[in-house]
A and B are shown apart, each in its own frame.
Chain A
C-alpha cells in the first residue's frame, strides 16, 4: 500500500500545475451542460486536447494524444483540475460514451470522421435510447428502422434525450430486425439532427429547466452505412456504451468538492455549533472518506487490469444516494433562506442557494437516469452477488 506518486506521475502533476497557473484564467465556469458550449468553452476544450488532458489515450490518428492507457495519469489530471477549481473539459455523452464505443467497435472511417471533432467539442451528440415504453427495460424499444433504397427509414419516439435541442448528431437505437428476438433485433445508427422528419420538444423537469427532450421521428432517412457494427448488433454496442456511462456517474472528485462546499456553508451559517447539524455533517464526511478510499481501490484495480466486479457495480447507486444526502443537508442548513428560487432560465448564473436546490432536485434525476437505482440493485445482486434471476411470470 503506497499512496505516493511515482516519478512519472509526479512529473505529470507538476506539468498540470504549470498549465493551470499559465492558462487557468481562460477556464469557463464549472457546471453548465444545459446549453450548447459557448466559444470560451470550446476554446478551452481545444487547449485541453492540444495539451493531452482530454483525449489523452485516444490514438493520434483520431485527434488524441496517443498516450498509453494509464488510469493513474487520468486521476492525477482530474484531481489537479478539481483542486484548482478549473473546468476539466466537456463531459457530454459524445465524449464519454460515443467516442469510447466507436474506438472499441467502430469502423476506421467512423473513427476518422467523428472522434476528433467530438473530443474537440465541434460536434455535439445526443443519445437516442429511452422511449416512453422502454425505460429500465430498454431492449423492448419499438422505434423502427426499415431499409429502403440505401437508407434506414426511422419512425418512432425517444424520450429523456439530453442536449437534443442543441446537438448536431444522435447515436440511436432502433429496431431493424422485427422478426428477431428482443435483443438481437436492435441496431445502432449515427444520424444528423438536421435530417428532415426529426422534431425535438423540450421536456421541462422538476428543476424547472428543460434538461431533456422528447424526439419524434417521421420517415427520417439515414444513409445505410451509418450503422455501427452491423444489423442486429445494437444491443451489444449499447452495452459497450452503458458501461462507460455508469462508471462516469459516480464521481469522487465531485463528492469531495460538494463536502467542502457543505462544510463552508455550515461554518458560514454558524451551524457547526449546533450538534444535530454537526453530527449530520460528520456522518457525511465519514461516508465521503469511505467512498474516496473505495475509489482508490477501483483505480488501483483498473491500473492492474483487474475487473472490480461488484465493487464497481455499487458506485452509481451508492454515489447518487450520497450526493443527495449531501445536498439535503445543504438545503436544511439554508432553511428558509434556501426557499427563494430565482432560476432565471437556462442562461442564468445561479446563486449558491439556487445551485444547491438544483443539485438536490437533479440528484433525484441521477438516481433514475442511466439505469435507475432499483435496476442498479438488481444488477448488483444478480451480476455482482450471483443471486438467481427473477422467474418470468405470465401476464396477469
Chain B
C-alpha cells in the first residue's frame, strides 16, 4: 500500500507547473481575461509538446495511457496557476467518452487526434436531445461532444452547431450554450450500459474540477500566508496576531485533507468501482464548500489589497466559483450521492 504520488507524477507535476508559472503570469492572465475564450494558441501548443492532451489516451492511440490520478495532479497545477487552457472537458471527459463508449474504429480515428492536440472538445449534457446549457471548454473548441438523454454521446464539428458564448464571472473561461442536431452527429453508442458509461465520464470531470479547485484554493492560501508573514501593522508582522494564526490553522485544517480526498476519489475512478461514484460526488461537493471558505478567508487575510483588481487574487476566487457550479454544485452532488447509496 502506498498512498502518495509516484516520482513520475511529482516530476510531471513540476514540469507542468514550471511551464504554466512561466507562461500564465498575472499580466498574461489579465490580458487573456479581457478577450478570453478560455483558449490560447501558443499556450496550447506548449501543452501539446508536454503531452498533456494525450494524458488519458491509451498508448496504442498515441497517448500516455495514464489514469485519473494523473489527470487530477495536472488539474491541481492548472487550477493553481489559473491557466487558460481547456482540460476537464477537452482532455479528460472527451477522451474518456471515446474510451468508454466509442467503437474501435471511432477510437482509432479520434483518439490520436485528441492526443496530438489537433481537436479540442467542448462537452455538454443535453436533457432534450440537442440543447446544452453551460458546456465545458466549448469556447473555441473544434468539436462538441454532447451527452443525450439515453446516455449516448453525439459528436459534431463546432461549425455545425449553434454556439452562444457568454463571458462568465470567471473572465478566463466563458460559459457556452449550444444547440446541435443529433441526426447529423456521429453517435458514440458502443457502451453496454450507456448511462453508466456517461456517469463515469461525468464523475471523472467532477474529480478533475475538484482538483482544479484544490489547486486554486492552495494558491490563494499560499499567497495569503506569504502576505501575513511580511505585512506589518501596529509595529508587528500581522501573522503574529493570534486571530490571524487561528484563521490560518482553520484554513489548513480544512484544505490539507482535501488533497488526500481528491487523490482517493481519482484513484477510486480507476481502481475501486464500488466507491467511484460516491467519492467523486462527495469530493466535488466538499471541494466546492472548502474552496468557497478558503477563497473568502484568504482574500480577507490580504486586507484591502485582496479586494483590488491590482493584486489579481480574484481570478482564483472566481475560478473556484466557476468550478463550484459546473457539473453540479455541492447540494446537487450530495443529493445524487444519496440516490447512489439508496438513501432516497
User: Residues on A close to B: CB < 8 A?
Assistant: 1-6, 9, 72, 267, 272-273, 278-279, 281-283, 285-287, 289-297, 299-301, 303-304, 310-311, 314, 317-318, 374, 376-378, 380-382, 384-391
A387 B240 Cβ-Cβ under 8 A: yes
In the complex with contacts A3-B271, A278-B344, A380-B252, A300-B242 CB distance below 8 A: no
Ranked 5 nearest A-B pairs via Cβ: A293-B260, A381-B245, A377-B249, A293-B264, A294-B257
- What per-residue 1/0 map shows which CB atoms of B141-152 lie under 8 Å from chain A? 000000000000
Find chain A residues with CB under 8 A from B256 CB. Answer: 294, 310-311, 314
Question: Which single member of A285, A300, A314, A387 contacts B245 (CB below 8 Å)?
Answer: A387
Known A283-B285, A293-B264; 5 more pairs at CB < 8 Å: A289-B264, A289-B286, A290-B286, A297-B3, A377-B245
Interface residues of A, dominant DSSP? helix
Find chain A residues with CB under 8 A from B279 CB. Answer: 289
Chain A, Cβ-Cβ closest to B334: A282
For the complex, what is the distance from the CA of A391 to the CA of B240, rounded to whole Å?
Answer: 8
A282 B252 Cβ-Cβ under 8 A: no
Interface residues of B, dominant DSSP? helix
Find chain A residues with CB under 8 A from B261 CB. Answer: 286, 289-290, 293-294
What is the minimal beta-carbon distance from B64 to any residue of chain A, in angstroms? 16
B331 A279 Cβ-Cβ under 8 A: yes
- What per-residue 1/0 map shows which CB atoms of B237-265 lie under 8 Å from chain A? 10111101110111011001111110111
For the complex, what is the distance from the CA of A317 to the CA of B225, rounded to whole Å?
Answer: 20
A385 B225 Cβ-Cβ under 8 A: yes
B5 at the interface (CB under 8 A from A): yes
Find chain B residues with CB under 8 A from A386 CB. Answer: 229
B283 at the interface (CB under 8 A from A): yes
B55 at the interface (CB under 8 A from A): no
Question: Which single member of A3, A301, A311 contacts B1 (CB below 8 Å)?
Answer: A3
B249 A317 Cβ-Cβ under 8 A: yes
A6 B1 Cβ-Cβ under 8 A: yes
Chain B, Cβ-Cβ closest to A321: B253
What is the minimal beta-carbon distance from A121 to any residue of chain B, in angstroms? 31
For the complex, what is the distance from the CA of A282 to the CA of B344, rounded to whole Å?
Answer: 12
Find chain B residues with CB under 8 A from A72 CB. Answer: 1
B158 at the interface (CB under 8 A from A): no
What is the minimal beta-carbon distance from B340 to any residue of chain A, in angstroms? 11
For the complex, what is the distance from the CA of A191 to the CA of B108, rounded to whole Å?
Answer: 77
For the complex, what is the distance from the CA of A184 to the CA of B249, rounded to whole Å?
Answer: 29
What is the minimal beta-carbon distance from A326 to any residue of chain B, in angstroms? 15
B260 A290 Cβ-Cβ under 8 A: yes
Question: Which single member of A3, A292, A378 contacts B242 (CB below 8 Å)?
Answer: A378
Find chain A residues with CB under 8 A from B344 CB. Answer: 272-273, 278
A293 B334 Cβ-Cβ under 8 A: no
Question: Which single member of B250, B265, B282 contacts A377 (CB below 8 Å)?
Answer: B250
Find chain B residues with CB under 8 A from A291 CB. Answer: 257
For the complex, what is the distance from the CA of A299 to the CA of B260, rounded to whole Å?
Answer: 12
B244 A2 Cβ-Cβ under 8 A: no
What is the minimal beta-carbon distance from B41 to any residue of chain A, in angstroms? 34
Find chain A residues with CB under 8 A from B260 CB. Answer: 290, 293-297
Chain B, Cβ-Cβ closest to A384: B252
Interface residues of B in 1-52 (CB under 8 A from A): 1-6, 9
B239 A388 Cβ-Cβ under 8 A: yes
B338 at the interface (CB under 8 A from A): yes
Question: Which single member of A3, A287, A299 contacts B286 (CB below 8 Å)?
Answer: A287
- What per-residue 1/0 map shows which CB atoms of B272-284 lie under 8 Å from chain A? 1000001100110
Chain B, Cβ-Cβ closest to A381: B245
B286 A390 Cβ-Cβ under 8 A: no
What is the minimal beta-carbon distance from A227 to any residue of chain B, in angstroms? 36
B263 A293 Cβ-Cβ under 8 A: yes
For the complex, what is the distance from the CA of A382 to the CA of B263, rounded to whole Å?
Answer: 28
Chain A, Cβ-Cβ closest to B284: A286
B285 A293 Cβ-Cβ under 8 A: no
What is the minimal beta-carbon distance from A82 to any residue of chain B, in angstroms? 17
B263 A1 Cβ-Cβ under 8 A: yes
